[in-house]
Chains A and B, each alone.
Chain A
Amino acid sequence: MSKIYGGHLAAKYLKEVEHVDMVFTLSGGHIENILDGLTEYKIKTIDVRHEQVAAMMAHAWSVYTNKPGVCLVTAGPGFTNALTGIVNAHLENVPLVVLCGRHPLRDDLKGALQEMNQIDMVKPVTKWCATCYETKRIPEYLSIAFRQATMGRPGPVFLELPPDILFEEVDEKTVVIPKRRTHKTVTQPGKNELEEAARLINQAKKPIFLGGSGVGMSGCGDILEKFIEKTGVPISLVNYGRGVLSDNHPLSVNGGGFTGLNAGLPVVDVIIAAGVRFNWLLQCGQLFPDAKVIRIDIDPHEIDRNRHADVGLAGDVGQVLGQLLPLVEKRDHSPWLKSFKNAYSAFMTSELEKRKTPSDPIHPIRLVEQIMTVFGDDAFYVADGGDTSYYGLSGFASKHQGGVQTPAGGLLGCLGTGIPFALAAKLAHPDKPVIVLQGDGSFGFNGMEFDTAIRHNIPIICIINNDCAWGMIKHSQEVSLGANRLTCSELGMRHYEKVVEGLGGYGELVTIDAEIIPAIKRAVASGKPACINVMTDPTVTSPATVFFYQSFSEL
């Protein structure tokens, strides 16, 4: 009779059924047996220095690999620390699988170490959550967790595994291992809706395709390319959809970024909005009052949210585009595309000039341009911060799916997500350069993860846009409160590069424009996780801050 521990059984299921090859974690006594199981079944563990990073890295892993990311945290504080990352995944509909320790069932209500009601706390921010009470049923619960995370509209799931069942041994023969389901979804739009959508697309004079995370999660690059090239519709890809078609594709208008969308959306006549929500970032769909809207979304409830859709196509983006493809006609919208690009370039006159002009003090826009000069579009970029996120989003371009990410620009607006995303990007794409442009304020949240980078040899390059402040907040306060009443928004000059050096990485301070590129090259040559601390102009702010401030000042 061969026996297996509950913790090992969990690992066996992860490896053999779900083919999980990496788990993001931070250790704890309650979860020791699963950790040991991960060793047994040769699943790589990336152990971090704060549980929020385990959740954020697993989240990012889903973004970069299109597979559900798994994180494992211990009971109590491990759980509460991970909560921010879970909420972030919830708001972004990411298939994050959280496995969590729990106080022993035996000790319920006795005042056990780390005893708390985790389930009630996590319920509102997960798609599914449960506690497993029986060792034999661990695979069954895990199977439900993975199905819930990935099927239909994805989302985070939470499975609590008490030590009583993890440390218990059962006869392996008595365990039923469920089969893995791989189908995506069967939700499909009706034929007449598809025909109506095709009619609008065929008649459009000034159309745009706006794709979001649903495009990324659908993994529909090939069909999207065919669709765009046949219809000739200019395309903008945002969130986790960014890069499914290269930012440098001739039909892409991503070069205009936020400014381009603000300039162009009010005049388009047809919007094909695929896997993208009309939330505050898109002014709840009010930016294009006169356009006909075709919405493609895996969640039918999303279709009319905030903005009536003229045609709603419920389904996976790739599948729907596949159905639309034979119905749409070949078109050439190049004059419209040219107008679009000309218009946003005219709206970005100063920004485009700043990119090209050496600056003293260094302008963040120029910093981004210099980074792009070194790495080009064959790299993964992440930006994290307030103003910093804007600069990264508008200045970086990549040909890879998820190649430009600003996770702090998501609905949770959570600073500190940059380093976890960059680490996950590098693990997923070890042969590509991964650069994180980091606000100095936001570096403070997860800067300690350079220890993780060094222990696991994950050579990311972190470039700090150091304005010695919580810039976005400071610049808002300058307007609202006055420059003489700034509160809690200033930071000092700090040698973050020395922190990274102290942890065993490469560090360099840059204060002049001409040194940016040589410093980056030295960082790359070091082969180590690196931090280049670039002192930038503390007086400049970004349109994102203005936009953000305005949305509050109207209250």
Chain B
Amino acid sequence: MRLSILLFALYQLVWISSKTNRAFKKFISKAKVRFLIKTEDGKYARLFVFDQGRVSTATGPDHAFDAALVWKDPKIAFSVMLKKNQVAVFNAAAEGKLKIEGMSVFALWFDKATSHIL
């Protein structure tokens, strides 16, 4: 539940920033990226769609994506994502609690994009 709220709040922030935050707007202005964050069992999932400046979202795990952060369980996802730090993400991956499907370079892009707003 907490993870759903976090993902929803993150999307809200992305959406508002896409209208108001100049640096963020510039950063996403040319990108076409579909980024999914989900748990392995698919119970929690949110897609972030960036299309040359426009952003949109969808819930559910079965969307096409460029990269997906796949978390072993929602608690870990919540605590690591809240920390917003690369070491925590790295450790989660090293401990088998997180994997990236698709191309991880898009996850790095998403991280860089959100660093403009978080």
Q: Which residue of A lies closest to B112 (CB)?
A: A550
Is A554 at the interface (CB under 8 A from chain B)? yes
Instruction: List residues of B (19-41) whose CB comes within 8 Å of A's CBs.
Output: 26-27, 29-32
| CB neighbours of A547 from chain B (8 A) | 105
Residues of B within 8 A of A340 (CB): 94
Q: Which residues of B contact A263 (CB under 8 A)?
A: 90, 93, 104
Q: Report chain A residues within 8 Å CB of B29.
A: 553
B101 within 8 A of A: yes
Q: Which of B68-94 contact A (CB under 8 A)?
A: 70, 86-87, 90-91, 93-94
Residue numbers in A under 8 Å from B100 (CB-CB): 346-350
- Closest-CB distance, B100 to chain A (whole angstroms): 5
Interface pair A346/B96, CB less than 8 Å apart: yes
Cα distance A349–B90 in the bound complex, in angstroms:
14
B residues less than 8 Å from A338 (CB atoms): 94
> B108 interface residue, CB < 8 Å from A?
yes
* CB of B35, distance to nearest CB on chain A (Å): 12
Residue of A266, A339, A349 near B86 (CB, 8 A) is: A266
Q: Contact at B90–A479, with CB atoms within 8 Å?
A: no
- Per the bound structure, the CA–CA distance linking A522 and B108 in Å amounts to 42
Q: Does B47 contact A (CB under 8 A)?
A: no
Contact A347 B32 (CB under 8 A): no
Q: Does A45 contact B (CB under 8 A)?
A: no
Assembly CA distance A480 to B95 (angstroms): 37
* CB within 8 Å of B: which A510-555 residues: 542-543, 546-547, 550, 553-554
B106 contacts the other chain (Cβ, under 8 Å)? yes
Q: In the bound complex, how far is the Cα of B91 from the Cα of A342, in angstroms?
A: 9
Asked whether A342 lies within 8 Å of B104 as measured between CB atoms, the reply is no
For the complex, give the distance between the alpha carbons of A339 and B91 in Å: 7
A342, B89: Cα distance in complex, Å: 12
Q: Which residues of the other chain, B, contact A347 by a CB distance below 8 angstroms?
A: 93, 99-100, 104, 107
Complex contact A480–B30 (CB within 8 A): yes
Instruction: Verify if B109 is at the interface (C-beta below 8 Å from A).
Output: yes
Asked if residues B90 and A264 are in contact (CB atoms below 8 Å), the reply is: yes
Query: What residues on B are CB-neighbors of A319 within 8 Å?
Result: none
CA–CA, A546 to B50, complex, Å?
Answer: 14
A348-B104, A349-B101, A480-B30 known; A342+B86 contact, CB < 8 A: no
B98 at the A/B interface (Cβ < 8 Å)? yes
Confirm or deny: B103 has a beta carbon within 8 angstroms of a beta carbon on chain A: yes
B42 within 8 A of A: no
- How far is A542 from B27 in the complex, measured between Cα atoms in Å? 21
Complex CA gap A87/B102 in Å reads 37
Task: List 9 tightest A-B contacts by C-beta distance, closest first.
Answer: A553-B30, A339-B94, A346-B93, A543-B105, A343-B93, A347-B104, A343-B94, A346-B99, A342-B94
Residues of chain B having any CB pair with chain A under 8 Å: 26-27, 29-32, 70, 86-87, 90-91, 93-96, 98-109
Chain A residues in the interface with B (C-beta under 8 A): 259, 262-264, 266-267, 338-340, 342-343, 346-350, 479-480, 542-543, 546-547, 550, 553-554
13 more contacts with CB within 8 A, not counting A343-B94, A479-B30, are A262-B104, A263-B104, A267-B90, A339-B91, A339-B94, A346-B93, A346-B99, A347-B99, A348-B100, A479-B31, A480-B30, A553-B29, A553-B31
